[in-house]
Structures are given as structure tokens and as C-alpha cells.
A and B are shown apart, each in its own frame.
Chain A
């Protein structure tokens, strides 16, 4: 028989998949090591400026948070920021997606154009808005003065700083929600809508009883996705105000960054990150379940 004998260099069937995924596994380990290090740091009294005083203080970093107004400010502003941005982006994104639902070349063109903010680096987007809100020559400052808001100071004033960064966040990320919901809307079966139209069902009823329920998995995925990112927002806030003015915008990651590099308080910074991680871990578990369901469905359609 002409059958070739297995010979030379051959990789066993059992080893092969492990070999192929080894690099990914190594990256996994490479991420797990600093992660675990962070856990250790969070239980230590550790200041870069006083390396000799480094020692385990166990839960002290966490316990002190309870009485630390700065921490409560961080928690409050982070949740506020995430809540406001995601809420507004969801409403806007859903609205725009419904405006663009019908497949026409104009709608497709607009939806592609709207992707451009999303593809702009958030840090650079913040700079763009910083230029536009510059009190000296910024076009938005000028427009504000036209509608009677003289001396509107945007990100430089504690009272409007949050509004300004939220605006930038909305500018960058609304298209994300819009494009996911648009894909969802366009993938919905048409029969229920045709039937409702034939029966003369009011449109508000169609929206609340048909569209929204059918769109729920998409809305949930998009919302959780955004919530996970938004509660960790760093780029926009840091590039715009570096957490200021004062501590108006010291959200988790900004506060941790400043703690680490300015106050060199590694222990507190690590503890902050662990708390943020716990929040995101909780959210991402819900997210991943939803996401998997949606992914199965997308694969099924293929």
C-alpha cells in the first residue's frame, strides 16, 4: 500500500490545541500577575516616597475609606458620571437609531458619518472640545455668550465641569449605542410590525409593546457594555481637566492615577482599583451572560 507512515516531526493531537493557545495563556498569566500584585498592594501600607515603611496593614486601606470624604466623593462622582452618560446616550442612541431605521442610502450614509466621533480617540476628542470651549476664542464659548451665557467657563468651573465632560462622552459614545441598536432594529422580524400596522395599532403601543421588548437584549448588551466602560472613564476626564477643578471630577481611575503618581500612595491607589474592579466584575458577569446569548443568536443567523 502507498500509505505514508507517520514519520518525522509530528505534534500529537492532544497537545496541539494547548500549543496553539499557549501564547494567549501566557498573556493571561502576564495579566494575572500584576492583578494579584495589586491585590497584595491594596493590603499594604505602601508609599513610593517611604519605601522603608512598607508593611502589611491588612484591611486598613479599605477601612479608612469609610471615614474618608474623598473616597465617597470618588464613588459618588463615578456613579453619577456613569449613570448620566449611559442614560443620556441610551435615550439619544435609541432615538437616532429609530430615525435611521429605514434602509436608505441617506440613512446609511449618516450612520457611517456618525461613526466618526466613535473612532476618534477619546483623549483627542477631549482636546478638540477643550479647544472649542476655550474662554478666549472657543466657538462654543462664543455661542454660549450669544445666548446670554456670558463668561460660561465650561470645564474650568466646578459647577459646569461635569456637564462638559458628559457632553464629550455623549459626543464620542452615543454612536456606539446607536450603531448596536440600529443593527438590532434592522434584524427584527417584520411580521409583527406589519400586522400591527394592518390592525391600526397606535404607534406608541407598537413602540412599548413590540419594539422595546424585542430590542431588549440589544439594549441590555449595549447598556452594560457602556456602563462597564463609563464607570472606568479616564481618557476624557484626564485629558480635559485632570480630575479638576479641585476634586470635582476625581472618578475612580483618575483618583487612583493621582494617588499613585502624585501622592505616591500605592496602597490606597491599589485598594481603589480593587473596589472598582469588584464593581466591574459584578457588571461584567451580567454582561457576559447577555453577550453570549446575543452572540449565539448572531452565529445562528450566519
Chain B
């Protein structure tokens, strides 16, 4: 009923192309996260959907209707801004009430609507305050309440947790998915925080330089990143990247790591003999006994406990640093010599020159908005 479709959108500012022939479909009721560094064009894309700026080329459809030339007030979207964009001369109540006023709702209906959404977001007690008297967290909730109150079929959330403190961000990251699911709205959510993206998105679109580089479920983005850049952006600690040149022997494709041949079952044929980068997620590496086949000898340099996990920095024989992560409370190595085993299935191979993952299929068709 309120899917959002972008068809071949181009947006330029002066000579700079901010969005380059971008197409994207968000299904009704789906939460799509736009993820990427600042300047990738995420916010511009949201504003195009909201109708406050116009594309230079392309069409925007909401609920199947062409909305490209329709003014913002008629598009039926709600939006929360990164900097909150509260009206400084109005109380929190008046701020939240603006979408209902636009619909010419009765006083009773406005009061009821504002109160219920304020209760949901736990800001009932500050409704009479002006924005400058609100804490950042309260501002953020007021902005969210204003976006939600009119029950718009499409919700646009522009990095709403960016400007709130860590504790609140953590709480909201837990709260928001349920809140959004209850609404049943189609949501486009912009963030620069990969954890937020993973927690909230039904699908994630990874953007950079005005182009969607990969579109997929959080699982897909994490397990099958389209390129090195995306692999690096998702995951904490960051993925280990090592230069390798895969070879083939009787047992299949292997790479040499610290003079140890590590066989990669299911690695693409295309990688053989090419200069590659192998990506190893820290949590897919394990300390093993020296006798284990394919065990790589390393020296443990440092160990850092991070609440739920322990991160170990090790150095290979060739002097390359590798991060290993394991759940807290599991046995590991805290110093001296050790050996690592690689989970061959989860190893990722990237082309050294282009950075593209070898064997990834979904990247080419993305431009047409088709998810892999």
C-alpha cells in the first residue's frame, strides 16, 4: 500500500553529482536502512522522498503513485531529522501536534494523539517545555513523536540517534524495532552506525558516493560483503585483511598464510593465481593446538576484554597483525606462542586491485533495484 520506489534518480548540486542514476524499491511495511559514510547521499535521498528537494532526473513513487512533482505536504510521509529540527518557538506539545493540525483534527483528537504517542516515548511530563528546555534525549523523542503522531504510511528517519548520548542510543536501539514494527509503516532509516543498521534493518542499502554498493539483509551484508570497503565497515573488531595469492593443488584451492597452506573449501575458481585479499572475521578465528592441520603459528601481543567478548592481537611469523575475538569466559591464549585455525567457509576473497569480492553475484544487478 505504501511502498516507496525510486527510479533512476539523479541529483546534482552545481557540478557535483550527489545521486547517480539510483534506483531502489522499499516494500510496504519494510524497514530499509541506508548505511554509508557522510557525503554518500543518504540524507539527500531521504529529502527527495520527503519532497523537500527535487530530483534532476528520475521518478519517485509512493504507494505506486508518481509523487515526483507533488509537494511535501501531500506525500503522506513522516520524517525525523538528525538535528531534530524542532520548532524553537513552540512547546513540545505544539511541536508534536503540527501534523495533526495540518489534518484539521479536532482539539480532542489532537490532544489524544499527542498524549498517546508521548506516553509511548515517555515524554509525557515535558510536553509543556520549549525545545531549549529539553535534554538531547527528550528532543530526539519529541522529534520522533512528531514523525509518528500522524501515523504516516511512510516514515523517514535521518540518523535520529546520532546526536544523543551512548546510553540512550543503546536503549533506543532496543526500543525502536518494536516501535516501528507496531506502526506497520514503511521505514527508511539513515545511519552511519553499522550496529544500528544491523539491529533495525530488514534490508540494508550500503551507499557511497551517490551509488548503492550493496543491498541485502543484514546477514547477507555481513557474510557476503560486496567489496573490501563494506566488509571493513561492518563488524567490530574490524575484519582482518591479508594479501594472498590463491593456488590449486590436488585437495582444492588454498592460500599460503605464514607458510601454512590453508585450504578454502568452496572458494571460487576465478581467484586462482590472482592477487587477492583474504578477509577473516575475528570471531571466525580460533586458538587451537599446534597439532591441528592448517594451524598457523602466531605470537600473542595483547589481550583486550570488551564486555561480552575478548579481543586478542596476535602477530604472524611474517609480522602481520591479526585480531582474534572470542566470547568472554571461553578459554584462550593471553601470551606467548599460539596457533590459529581459520574457518575456511567464512573466509572472504577480494580482488586486490578492484576490492570487489570474488564470486559476488549481486553487485551488477543492483543498479536496477533488484535485490540478490
Contact = CB atoms under 8 A, between A and B. Distances in A.
B54 A3 contact: no
Contacts of A6: 70-71, 74
Contacts of B75: 3
A6 to B, nearest CB: 5
A1 to B, nearest CB: 6
Interface string A43-65: 00000000000000000000000
B76 interface: yes
A5 B75 CA distance: 9
A2 B74 CA distance: 10
Contacts of B71: 6, 10, 13
A33 interface: no
Nearest to A10: B71
Interface residues of B, number: 12
A277 B73 CA distance: 48
B1 interface: yes
A4 interface: yes
Contacts of A5: 74
A130 B193 CA distance: 74
B63 interface: yes
A238 B73 CA distance: 58
Interface string A4-36: 111000100100000000000000000000000
B155 interface: no
Contact of B76 (A3, A10, A13): A3
Contact of A1 (B54, B73, B76, B103): B76
B282 interface: no
Contacts of A2: 76, 103
Contacts of B54: 13
Contacts of B74: 3-6
A1 B70 contact: no
B208 to A, nearest CB: 29
Interface string B100-128: 00010000000000000000000000000
Given A5-B74, A6-B74, 17 more contacts: A1-B1, A1-B2, A1-B63, A1-B76, A1-B153, A2-B76, A2-B103, A3-B74, A3-B75, A3-B76, A4-B73, A4-B74, A6-B70, A6-B71, A10-B71, A13-B54, A13-B71
- Ranked 3 nearest A-B pairs via Cβ: A3-B76, A6-B74, A4-B74
Interface of A: 1-6, 10, 13
7 contacts: A1-B1, A1-B63, A2-B76, A2-B103, A3-B74, A6-B71, A10-B71
